[in-house]
Every structure is written in C-alpha cells, then in structure tokens.
Amino acid sequence: MQNVYKPFLLLITACWLFNSAAFSQVIPDKGTDSSLSVDVNLENLFSQKVPKKYKIAGITLSGNKYFDTALLVSVASINVGDEVTIPGGDQFARAINNLWKQNYFSNVEIYVTKIEGSNIYLELEVTERPRLASFNFKGIRKTESEDLIAKVGLVRGRIVTENNRRSAIEAITKYFSDKGYRGVNVKLDEAKDLKVENSLNLTFNVDKGTKVKINEINFVGNQVPDLRLKKQLKGTKEMSRLTLYPPKEVGGYAPPDNLTFQDYVAHNGMLSFSKTKELLDPYVRIKLSSAKFNEKKFGEDKEKILEYYNSLGHRDAAIEKDTLYYNSQGNLNIDIKVSEGRKYYFGNIAWRGNTKYSDSTLTMILGIKKGDIYNLETLNKKLGKQLSPEGGDISGLYMDDGYLFFRTEAVETAVYNDTIDYEIRVIEGPQATIKNVRIAGNDKTKEHVIRRELRTIPGEKFSRSDLIRSQREMASLNYFNQEKIGINPVPNPDDGTVDINYTLEEKSSDQLELSAGWGGGIGLTGTVGVSFNNFSIKNIWKKSAWDPLPTGDGQKLSLRVQSNGKAFRSYNFSFTEPWLGGKKRNSFTVSLYDTKYRNGSYNYLTGRYNYGSDDSYIQTSGVGISLGKQLKWPDDFFNLITSLNYTRYRIKDYAIFEGFSNGFSNNINIKLALQRSSVNQPIFPSSGSSFLLSTQLTPPWSLLDPGRVKALNPYELVEYHKWRFNGDWYVPLGKASGPERNKQFVLKASVKYGYIGRYNKELQVSPFERFQVGDAGLSNNFALLGYDIMAHRGYPVYNNSDQKINPDQQSTQKFFTIFNKYTVEMRYPISLNPSSTIFALGFFEAANGWYSTKEYNPFRLRRSVGLGMRFYLPMFGLLGFDYGIGLDRYSPNSKLKDAAKFTFMLGFEPE
C-alpha cells in the first residue's frame, strides 16, 4: 500500500565518532499535500521506546550535480541490505559524518521516505559547496597578479572551502612580505556567479602596506667589529650606500659619509642611476645590495650571528634583544643587542674506550691542541659527526676499517676560567662485514655495468671511503642523475653485517647533432652526428633489444657525417669498450676517419665558388687503436693508455708548407698517456683533480735512413716527438646548506703545456701536429693536419709570441711548437638538473706560443679576462658562450670593445 505523507520533520542530534559534536537531520517524506494523514509507523518511528531493527531496502540520492551517485553512497558506507537500529543506532550519524568530512558539502540530510514492515527506504540529500567560477586581484600591478595566480593554489571549477580561502590569503601576504612590504592586508569579497549555478567569483582586495627598506643595522654590546657581524647577515642587508674617496665636492655637493644612494639621487633632481654614477665616477664607491626586510630571513640571520660567535669561542653568546623602528623617511632601522660572553679555549682532551688506536694517534688526527679557540663545530667535524667526503676525521679512520657501529661522545669534564676540558668517549663496536648489495632504479643500464664500478663487495669489510668512491664512480658513468644517487647502509647488529642499498635514477646520456643548409655554388651543407654512451653491441642483432636502441652494456658508439657541400666533407666513427673481457677496467677503442677539404675557384661574374676535378685539396684519412689499463699504484685513480695511430695526408696543389704542395705524407705514431682523475662529477666537477701526461712518438725515420733528409718529399714519413701536460684542480668555496647545499662557488685552476721536437737537427720541426693558439678552440681547416687546438678567449688565432704585436694583424699559416696556458675560473651553478645543467663563470686566462726553446719565455704571456655561460643538454652536449677581453690588445688610444671578442663553443669544452 502506498501512502503520501504530509510534511513532517523530526530533528535528532548525533555525536560523531571522529568529532566532538555534529548535527544531522533525519526527515520523513518531503510531500507537500497536508490533506492526507501521516503514517503512524513514521510518526512513531523515533518516539518508540524499544529499539527496533530495520533493513534498508532502498537508497536514493539527490542534490548532487558533479559527483557519481554510486561513489557517494559508497563513501557514506550505508548500503542496501544493511540493518539499522531505530532509535539508538549510530548508522545515520556515521553516514552523515563520512560525507561531511569530504569537505564537498555544506549540508547533508537523510530522509526516511517509506517503511514497509521491517524494510526502510532512505533518501540522502546533499547541498554541494559552491565552486570557483573566477578570481582576480585588486590594488596590485598586472605582473604581481600574474605571479600570484600560480601561488594562491586556486583552480577554476573546484570547490571553494575555508581552507582554500585561508591558504590563498596567506600566500598573498607572504608574497608581498618577502618583497619587503610591512602591514600587508588582504580582504576577500565573494559574489555569486550569474552564469554558472552554485559558483562564486572571488576578489582579493590587496593593501600592500608600505614597502620597507632597511636603512641601518646597528649592533650594541659587541666587541667583534660591526662589519664582520653584518657579513653574516645573508638575507638582511642595509640600503645601497655611497662613499666618497677621497671626500670632496662632486657637482657642487659634498655628501656625508655613508649617504644612501636614494638620498643622493633625490638631491640631484632624481637623476637616473647611470647618470648619477657617471657624475660621481671616479670619486664614489657604490655598494649595491637588496635592502628588503624579510622576517623569516632575519630570524635565520640571527642564528648565523650566534654560529659565528661560537666559531670565535664565544659559546655563551646570545642576542638579548632586537628592536625594529622606522626613521623619518619611513625606512627601517634594526638595533641588535648582543651579549658576547667570555671567549673560551680548548683545554686538555682525554680519550677513553679506544683500543684500536692510541691516544696520540687520535689526538694527531683530531688536530685540536690545548689553547686553541673553542669551536664546537670544529670539534664535531673532526670527530666525524658531520660526514665529509674528504675524510681525515676520527669517524672516517674507524669506518674505513670496518667499524660501522663506531661512535663518539664528547663530554665536558671541567670548565675553569676560560678553559674547557673534554673527555672523548669512544665506542668502537665490532667490525662490520658487507652482506648484501642491492641496486634499484637501473631501468636501462645492466646491473653488471653498475656492479663492476662498485667498491663495496659482499664479504669484505665495510669502508666509508669505498662508499664515497662507489658514488663517484657511478656519477662518472654519466648514466644517472648525480643529485639522486642514493646510498643507504642498513646495519644488522645481530650478526655484525651491513646491507648496502643503492638507488639510482636513469638519465639520457646520448647526444644528437643535426644541422642543414643550402649554399649557392656549394650545395647542401649540414651535419649528422650521434653518440650512444650506453650502447650494447652484443644485442645489435636482437630485434627485441631495439627500444629504440640496444642499450645498457656501457659501451660507446659514435658516428658523425659532416658536409659543406662540395667544399668539405668528413666521416668519423669510433667505438669504445670500457671493460674489455668484462673482468678488469681495460678499455679498448677503435676509431676511423676520413676528411677532405677543397679549394674552389671564385667566379666574379656569379659571385660563387666553382668546384671541379682539378681543384686543389687536402685529404686526411686515419685509423687508431688504443688500450687503456687501470693502475693500482700510486693509487687506482691512475690509468695508462697506449694507442697506435696511422694518418695518411694527401695534398694536391695545396701549398700549405714550403716545398710541399703535392704528394702523400704518412704519420705512424705511438702515444703513451698517463692520466689521473679524481673529480666527483663529469659535467660540473666541484672537487677533485685531473692530470694528463702524454708523449706521442714516431719512428726516427731520418736517423734510420739519413738519405731522407735530402729527399724530394721530406714529409713522406712524418717524424717528431710530442709532449703534453694538462692539470685541472676543482676547489669548492664557502659553505652551503639546506636546499642550496650543492649550489656553491667552485674555483677551477688549470695549466697546460705542450712541446713538439725533432730527432734530426738537419730537418725542420714537423709541420704536422703543432699547436694552434687563440679564439674559441673550434677546429678549422688546419685541424686536418693534426694540430692541437688551444682556445684563448679574448684573442683571435695568432702566430707571433710577442704580445706587443696586435694578433688581429697576424697571419695564421704558421703554428707553434711550444705553448703554455694558465686559466683560473670562478664557477657558480645555476641549475644542476640533469636535463639542463647550467653554470656561469668568470675567468682569467694567460697563454702564448713559441717556435723554439731559445725564444721560450714562460712569463711572456697574453692575458685576458671575461665572463661566460655553459649549458649542458643531454641530447646536444655542451653549449657555451664567452665574452673575453684581451688585455694585451687594449691600448689607451683604442676602445674597450676593440679588445673584446665573443666566442662560442658547441659539443665539447675546448682545451
């Protein structure tokens, strides 16, 4: 029997399971016809005294527009077939709570629509929260609005909650506070959208307050000079200032010392920065800095001040009070009152618990003597509580001998006057043995390629230096994201073993080079080059391995074809197996190349070059085989590489050398190279060094056959001995911590020397294999003759060692037999992301070349300074730009731009 019920509302209060209290509604039928009677069963449903169980026979849902009905019923956890107890049951309260805590609804109600015996029918009615139609900002600039769109976290079409509103206001407030505004106020206006039902338009009315700059920072109670303390304030700086030297009137105005730049500009009629600086030069030092006040950074800077005091021995130093107030111009003054306390010194240091090493050995490694200024950070660092890749601490000494469970505790035993005595308690623990070594994340690289680089081998004693070396070796492969190489030792104290888990993230290390063009009279020009740095030649015939290429065995395959139409073409091929035989680090490389350069005849009528079979040309063809071996002495950073090379030069009507314009030359040589590399990363090294000493020798043909001295072609068999030395050092500068811990300045210093000599004094030094110095180090036509290309930024290619002679006026048909080059670079990483490594650099460079040992003078050098950028993109290799100023090209009668040179590099870092 069906009944139509008149409106009847019964409200009950329910206590939620997960909230302190909440409100729910259980309502009978929503019918509006009051002429019909109310069902007695419904009327007495909640007034009955004895609880009765009902079975849910049907559930309907109303009010939802965006959510799936079945999903909401499932979230409510009330289903057809469930039993409910009325009164006394909490099923309805739990259902409402489950929906309410989703934060999607502003109201949830449950209706009882019908009862048939012990069956009950329910309707869930929800009122959805409004959704965001649009949002905008008022009171701020367009660029600021664009910045805030990404920061407020609001998305059109999503539900608007109190948390959304609060988070957006906090993001706006923080944005302007970080820019130096004080008293930021944000008011939110809401309006219903007339086009979209149940939607809101939000307007953020922003009052930025006053932009505050820090006028002065004053320290009170300090003996340490203010300047040293201000240097510790990395995020809190004073306004830019002008300082006259010597103090004198400039433009009719003699400003007081430390006048703010803003005040001086105001006095001079709001001149532009450049105009004011031009007026004041050369009498004024301008100290530029950001003077924004950021409360969070100010708090961090106060901690840095205390850390600095602690490093000076003032372990009781404290900031008693800091006062912020505004001057008459509305800028901020900061007074910081410090209590330095007494300056302390280390006293006696005693050892306890050490059995492996003597007290004297540990004291020597600790490096702290009685009377040294007290510095807790230094003590902890020397004890090894802060892991250092360089080692040289107490913890490293023990852990390199397997004492993984080693730890120390430094205890103050006496404090008298200004001296602190320490007892260092040593808990050596047992030596740990490596049990399992696990590798994860190598989706492309085969596991054996990684394991052969690891120094941590199951069954051997644990060693911290082996962990660090393993990380360095994996980074050197350049197959993985160097910033995400994870090493997690998991000790097993029960059996004295340790498991080592390595986590990796693959990255692309292959490179592609593509270019194309069309030249009138030349034809098609372009380059196609590919380098596969993690190739697998054994899987080259397996169709399943081509995804898209057979990879994972760590081999290197390089192919390159270059053409400049009819004028030039070049083919290059090389293959490297870094572990020949798979058991030892013995590298094997084979390379082939063929290059041809032609001289065409210029047609003045067409303005083009014509090329034919009678053109003069140089053709170079060659093959090389090399074998490298890792050495164990003096240490295993050394490698010895032996290579055998053959190059054939064919010259036709090309008078590049005196007395030789036609014919063949053959260059057969053996090259021995001893190199050592301990750099921590291949792309942006921040520590370590790299050295190379090599000699390249041909047989002494003229000594074996003296008749060759007067031969028609003295260069048929090229002879020489060539020597090279390269050295590079990388030193990190300063301390970095937090998210920017890897972003710190790196000093690179390098030296390069080269010399090529002859066996027979009756012959000239070989015209092949000489040294070209200058420009960006990019190869040119003369590279066909085996020249070593030495970059010298700020200078064109030059062939005269007299730095007083302008290299712009020199011919480059002759090249040096001796060269020296010295470089100092200051580098700073902008991005260390493996997909785009970017760093900036400033450089000082000095180089020169000579033709004989008699004229050699290592102090007669051409100098240059400049700035540069490097972009490393995995698919395209290195892209670099440098702007160098040749100091020896500049003269008082010339302009600075005449001594400057912009250089570009692609694919590799020049020598």
Sheet hosting strand 419-427, strand order edge to edge: 345-352, 419-427, 407-416
Q: What is the pLDDT of residue 524?
A: 67
Both tokens assigned to 279? 């007026």
Distance separating alpha carbons of residues 773 and 173, to the nearest angstrom: 57
The mean per-residue pLDDT over the stretch 664-679 comes to 94
Both tokens assigned to 228? 């040293």
Going by C-alpha positions, the residue among 419, 413, 426 that lies closest to residue 361 is: 426
Omega within 30 of 0 (cis) for the link into 389: no
The mean per-residue pLDDT over the stretch 119-124 comes to 86
Q: What is the pLDDT of residue 385?
A: 79
Helix (H) or strand (E) holding 643: strand 638-652
Q: What is the pLDDT of residue 62?
A: 84
Q: What is the pLDDT of residue 657?
A: 72
Local confidence band at 603 (pLDDT 50, 70, 90 cut-offs): low
Residue 251, pLDDT > 50, answer no
Residue 485, pLDDT > 50, answer yes
Helix (H) or strand (E) holding 175: helix 162-178
Going by C-alpha positions, the residue among 882, 744, 746 that lies closest to residue 827 is: 746
Residue pair 319/302 in contact (Cβ under 8 Å)? The answer is yes
Both tokens assigned to 800? 């005269």
Distance separating alpha carbons of residues 834 and 163, to the nearest angstrom: 36
Q: 877-906 pLDDT, tens per residue?
A: 788 899 999 998 887 777 888 888 888 877
Q: What is the pTM of this model?
A: 0.67
Residue 110, pLDDT > 70, answer yes
Residue 15, pLDDT > 50, answer no
Q: Which of 447-456, 636-645, 776-785 has the lowest mean pLDDT?
A: 776-785
SS3 category, 41: helix
Distance separating alpha carbons of residues 358 and 366, to the nearest angstrom: 12
Q: What is the pLDDT of residue 11?
A: 31
Q: What is the pLDDT of residue 257?
A: 47
The mean per-residue pLDDT over the stretch 229-239 comes to 87
Burial class from Cβ neighbours inside 10 Å (0-12, 13-18, 19+) for residue 605 reads exposed
Going by C-alpha positions, the residue among 124, 26, 16, 109 that lies closest to residue 79 is: 124
Sheet hosting strand 199-207, strand order edge to edge: 131-138, 199-207, 185-192
The mean per-residue pLDDT over the stretch 188-215 comes to 88
**What is the average pLDDT score of the chain?**
82
Residue pair 766/720 in contact (Cβ under 8 Å)? The answer is yes
Both tokens assigned to 619? 């053709």
Residue with token string 């009122």: 127
509-533 b/e with 16+ CB inside 10 Å = b? bbbebeeeeeeebbeebebebbbbb
Q: 560-601 pLDDT, tens per residue?
A: 898 877 778 889 999 999 999 888 899 999 999 999 888 766
Residue 3, pLDDT > 60, answer no
Q: What is the pLDDT of residue 432?
A: 93
Distance separating alpha carbons of residues 130 and 228, to the nearest angstrom: 56
Query: Which phi and psi angles does 544 have, rounded to 5°?
Result: -70, -20
Local confidence band at 40 (pLDDT 50, 70, 90 cut-offs): very low
The mean per-residue pLDDT over the stretch 541-548 comes to 81
Beta strand 419-427 with 345-352 is: parallel
Local confidence band at 786 (pLDDT 50, 70, 90 cut-offs): confident
Distance separating alpha carbons of residues 600 and 554, to the nearest angstrom: 44
Q: What is the pLDDT of residue 677?
A: 93
Q: What is the pLDDT of residue 45?
A: 57
766-781 b/e with 16+ CB inside 10 Å = b? bbbbbbbbbbbbeeee
Q: What is the pLDDT of residue 286?
A: 47
Query: Which phi and psi angles does 151 have, rounded to 5°?
Result: -90, -30
Q: 276-325 pLDDT, tens per residue?
A: 444 444 444 444 456 788 888 899 999 999 999 999 999 999 999 999 88
Residue pair 571/565 in contact (Cβ under 8 Å)? The answer is no
Residue with token string 């739990």: 94
From the centroid of its chain, how far is CA 164?
33
Both tokens assigned to 769? 């294999």
Local confidence band at 681 (pLDDT 50, 70, 90 cut-offs): confident
Residue 44, pLDDT > 60, answer no
Q: Which of 41-55, 497-511, 701-715 has the lowest mean pLDDT?
A: 41-55
Beta strand 52-62 with 83-86 is: antiparallel
Q: What is the pLDDT of residue 856?
A: 93
Local confidence band at 72 (pLDDT 50, 70, 90 cut-offs): confident
SS3 category, 136: strand
